[in-house]
Structure formats: structure tokens, C-alpha cells
Amino acid sequence: EFSFWYIGLGVIAPLLLSAGLTYSARERTDHVRAGIVMKLAMVMAVGYVAFLKLVLFAP
């Protein structure tokens, strides 16, 4: 059965990954990589909200 938890995990996992990458970063390239992962997570979160709006508030 499909669950919104799977998509939520898909949004939370990159955020946690970015936090871990930022915490363990020692060089500038590591910080840049963490920033890219954070931007990806933000785009996924916006897409998730749009998806929920379409599914939950469909006429």
C-alpha cells in the first residue's frame, strides 16, 4: 500500500544527509556538496507540498 510516509522520508533523508555532510565537512568542496544536497531537498519538499495539495484537496 502506498503511503505518504515514503515520500516524507524521501524529503527528510536528504535533509539529514545534508546536515551530516555539513557537520563532517573539512574543505570548501564538502560544504558546496552539502549545499547542493540541501537545495535538492528544498526542491523535493516544494514538490511534496504540491503533490499533497493535488491529492488531498482535489475537487
Tell me the HSE value of 22 on the side-chain side, using a 13 A CA sphere.
11
- Strand, helix or coil for residue 32: helix
Note the pLDDT tens digit of each residue in 5-44.
Answer: 777 787 788 888 888 888 898 999 989 988 888 888 889 8
Kindly report whether the global pTM for this prediction surpasses the value 0.75: no
More confident residue, 32 or 3: 32
Unique residue bearing C-alpha cell 502506498 = 2
Q: How many domains does the chain have?
A: 1
Structural domain boundaries, residue 42: 4-56
